[in-house]
Amino acid sequence: MREGVIFPNSPAASTIPPAELEKRMNSFNARRNLIQTNPSLYVSKTRLSIRQLPTFVSERLLKRLARHAIKAFDEETEKGERDGLEEDEMDDEGGKKVVDPLSGGEVALSAKEPKGEEKKKTGRKGKWSSGAVKQAKIVRLSERVDPLTGKGKSKGYGFLETEKHADALKILRWANNNPETGSLFRLWWMDEMKEALDVLEKKTGEKSEEEIARMKRLKEVIATSNEDGVEKAGSKRTLVVEFSIENVVIIKKREGRDKTSGPTHVDKRNQKHKLDTDRKDESKPSKEGKSRASRKSTNSKRNEEENSRPSKRPRMEQGNPNATPLGARIGEKRPSNPLGSIIGRKRKMKKMNSGRK
């Protein structure tokens, strides 16, 4: 919790303005109150909160800063310019010193290579890499888009997560309140702008209006930076690097969501390969499949012949889909004619009267 905090009586307090010192102390007090009042909050050992970032800094630059900070910390420790990590601050055997029984001197242990799924290989020769940076995130505004990158505009703070607690400590102790970070960010940002411009210029085919406007904007930014100079354009404010405060409930939900999420790209590739092989097997039917297919073809021919024969069923009247079949109307009585019934009754009455006479 107190790691990276600049207190008024510390030597680093003289290197920053009083307003900056007051801001850092207010942040420390607010974080301490949060931890004391909410039992579900805790201080992470591998996730860093970085504030006062220049708005042009991207996730790529943040990762580059982390790797540079770890390397620079180790170099300065070897030269004796700063104190290294204590034994209880190291989460692995790497860097710890033990007494050599033969020479009697202290020897630093090398980091152990991980086993199983934790082992990572990078490069063409497949050499083992520690994978110091696990995640880099810049908090952005979704409603405002940066014309140079096409992403949301940065809010000026982000997060860095490392695999080891020792790497997070090295990044914090080197980058926190370090005036060199501003010029480094500017240099790396210029490299990104030149790479983006090179990609757009080498793109074949007709360019859209948005791409043309972006190329123009990139050329203007690169030209102005060359005129003003990198050191002059760098930010005067130093970074505020602290260990992030995490919520146990949110972390558990995130872990559960990761477990229930879909398959990885490796699993998807294996599933696709399996589907391709199944389709190939289906495209090559066996003898039993061939016999079934022949039986289906003969059955379909018979059905076609039966449908082509005239049906003995009574047909429907043409032009009236709701009409009843003609055969169903054979036994029906015809509707009676009132005039004919009167004539018939009169005839019967005449016959009866003639018979009585």
What CA–CA distance (Å, rounded) separates 52 from 154? 11
Angle at 310 between CA 305 and CA 313, to 5 degrees: 120
What CA–CA distance (Å, rounded) separates 86 from 168? 14
Place of tokens 């004619």: 337
At residue 97, the pLDDT reads: 54
- What's the pTM? 0.61
56, with CB counted inside 10 A (0-12, 13-18, 19+), is buried
Burial 229-248 (b: 16+ CB within 10 A, else e): ebeebbbebbbbbbbbbbee
At residue 239, the pLDDT reads: 92
pLDDT per residue rounded down to tens, the chain (357 residues): 788 888 888 888 888 889 988 999 999 999 999 999 998 899 999 999 999 999 999 999 999 999 999 999 999 999 999 888 888 887 654 445 545 554 555 545 444 444 444 444 444 344 334 468 999 999 999 888 887 777 889 999 999 999 999 999 999 999 999 999 999 999 998 888 888 888 888 888 888 888 888 888 888 888 887 655 444 444 578 999 999 999 888 888 877 776 666 555 445 555 655 556 655 555 555 555 555 656 656 666 666 655 655 554 544 444 455 545 544 444 545 555 666 678 888 888 888 887 765
At residue 151, the pLDDT reads: 85
- Distances in Å between the Cα of 18 and the Cα atoms of 10, 13, 208, 212, 296 are 13, 8, 50, 46, 90
Place of tokens 């016959």: 351
| SS3 label, residue 120 | coil
What CA–CA distance (Å, rounded) separates 239 from 252? 30
What CA–CA distance (Å, rounded) separates 169 from 165? 6
At residue 336, the pLDDT reads: 58
Question: Residue 191 is encoded by which pair of tokens?
Answer: 């490299």
At residue 353, the pLDDT reads: 81
Q: What is the DSSP string of 35-99?
A: HHH-TTEEEEEEEEEEES--TT--HHHHHHHHHHHHHHHHHHHHHTSS----GGG-SSSTT-EEE
At residue 259, the pLDDT reads: 67
Residue 31, C-beta contacts closer than 8 angstroms, at least 6 positions apart: 1, 242, 245
At residue 232, the pLDDT reads: 46
| SS3 label, residue 145 | strand
